[in-house]
Structure 1
């Protein structure tokens, strides 16, 4: 099952590696990724991941990272509607 996450984080050199490591260790495969830095000290990453595991498991683990400020799961109805349009 595919899920989309939006992760807001503090801009640090190692934060990308930490987010991807947690994602992999929790049994999720990254199928799409978009990362932007709207300011010098903050970044936003949109991840599309695939797994049979609960997306809340990954969300809670990412929120434990010290550099992650926010992690939101996109509504599945929104993702399905955009895929059919």
Structure 2
């Protein structure tokens, strides 16, 4: 099953690696992602994952990371290359 998340991250060199490591350790496969830096230097990461596990297992773990400011579940289906994803990323600009 595919799920989509939108993360707002604090800027740091290792933040993307940390987020992807949690996804891998929890058994989620990244199928698509888009990243954007806001004017306030925060990072918005829209990511689509695939798994048979409950998405809450991942979102709860991501919320615990100190450099994740916000983790939101996006409505499914959510194609990251769609206008919806572009609008979601632009809204956080």
Compute the RMSD of aligned alpha carbons: 1.6
What residue is the counterpart of 2:14 in the other structure? 14
Moved more, 39-48 or 23-32: 39-48
Deviations 1:25-76 (A, max 9, x none): 0000000010000125300000000000000110000000000000001122
Unmatched 5+ stretches in structure 1 = none
Are residues 1:25 and 2:25 paired? yes
What residue is the counterpart of 2:88 in the other structure? none
Which consecutive aligned stretches of 4+ in structure 1 deviate over 6 angstroms post-superposition? Answer: none
What's the TM-score, normalizing by structure 2? 0.80
Relative distance call for 1:18 and 1:33 in structure 2 (3 A) is same
What residue is the counterpart of 1:54 in the other structure? 54
Unmatched 5+ stretches in structure 2 = 83-93
Between the aligned partners of 2:24 and 2:39, the Cα distance in structure 1 is: 27
What's the TM-score, normalizing by structure 1? 0.88
Q: 1:79: Cα distance to partner?
A: 3.1
